[in-house]
Homo-oligomer: A and B are copies of this chain.
Amino acid sequence: MCVLDIIHICEKYPSEDTDKRSLSGHWQRGGNASNVCTVLQQLGAECEFLGMLSTAAAFKFLQQDCTERNIHIENCPMCEENPPFSTVILATNTGTRTIIHSNRGFPILKFQHFQNLKLNNYKWIHFEGRNVTETSQMIWEIRKYRKQAKDRGEESITVSVELERLDMDLLALARIADIVILSKDMSEFLGWSTRYEAVYGMRQSLQDLQDAAKEIDEKIETIPSIVCPWGSEGCAYLSSDSSYGSFLAIPATTVVDSLGAGDTFAAGFIFAQCILNMDIKMSVDYANQVAGFKILHRGYDMIKKFQYRKT
């Protein structure tokens, strides 16, 4: 989604029932998919955002910011409603980011909007895990296209799904993706307390879903690769062919801005796989390093200076 982030930078996280002035405050474009595009573009990929946008005058700057950053938005449907918004409180003493989302029934992206895309223009399509009914139709459409492309000897499309919202139903989307990016919050919600438990637990859940679906649904040949960023402890992955690996987080002396670190990880992984053609292990290492670099800088603009060091 493409939403409004209202950011307050405070000396410390405010106690309940107080009335305080922040050190500074500003607004910026936010939303997971929208942030992933920002980072991909900084890293050097050409990319497109597809999601509902608002025609409300107050929010023209969201679209302007995409256009100025060369993020394609020409296929986005538009509506008159105000977009969802989030307040983000960054505490300078602890480096934490506390987020409160509000969404008052903003229209969702429908399968019909997705059908306007010419799929042969894309190498990778990344989905936020939400709106299972619509999104699963989109992924099945890509799977159908891939079969035909394969027959024609054309390039394929990789599908990744990010699981961040705490919603069990989203596993139905993960099952039909190639890559699952699983958040720590969602892992804990599903009962897994380490990154190791998380990737193996998710693999088992997807295998179970697969087994249950086989009879009634289209057969899927492989189980997705699972990638799992785990905050300040690092990240882990379990590939489609069962190789497991993990990386420690890059040590950060001063966390300047942890907002969007997860989106930066996702974008880093996609960039490493899709543009740099790295294998999964190296791609996770790359993602981990970009995210570690990002939190040392305010916003996303410094990411273009990121340099990967092979571990």
Contacts and interface: CB of A to CB of B under 8 A. Distances in A.
Interface stretch (A19-27, A73-81, A211-219, A286-294): A19-27
Contacts of A57: 57-58, 60
Nearest to A185: B19
A119 interface: no
Given A58-B58, A87-B8, A102 B19 contact: no
Contacts of A104: 24-26
A17 B58 contact: no
| Stoichiometry, copies per complex | 2
Interface string A54-70: 00011111000000000
Interface of A: 6, 8, 10, 13-22, 24-27, 57-61, 82, 85, 87, 89, 91, 94, 96-104, 185
A3 to B, nearest CB: 11
A87 B6 contact: yes
Given A17-B97, A22-B100, 9 more contacts: A6-B85, A10-B100, A15-B98, A19-B101, A20-B101, A58-B58, A58-B59, A87-B87, A89-B100
A143 B99 CA distance: 49
A101 to B, nearest CB: 5
Nearest to A7: B102
B102 A17 contact: no
13 contacts: A6-B85, A14-B98, A15-B98, A16-B96, A17-B98, A18-B99, A19-B98, A19-B99, A19-B185, A24-B104, A25-B101, A26-B104, A58-B61
The 9 closest A-B pairs by CB, nearest first: A25-B102, A17-B96, A58-B58, A13-B16, A19-B99, A87-B87, A57-B57, A8-B100, A21-B101
Contacts of A60: 57
A98 B18 CA distance: 5
Nearest to A15: B98
A16 B11 CA distance: 13
A219 to B, nearest CB: 36
A101 B89 CA distance: 11
A185 B27 CA distance: 29
A10 B98 CA distance: 13
Nearest to A102: B25
A279 B101 CA distance: 47
A8 B102 contact: yes
Q: Which has the most chain B C-beta neighbours within 10 Å: A6, A82, A96?
A: A6
Nearest to A20: B100
A16 B94 contact: yes
A33 B295 CA distance: 39
A58 B27 CA distance: 12
A85 B166 CA distance: 30
A104 to B, nearest CB: 7
B91 A16 contact: yes
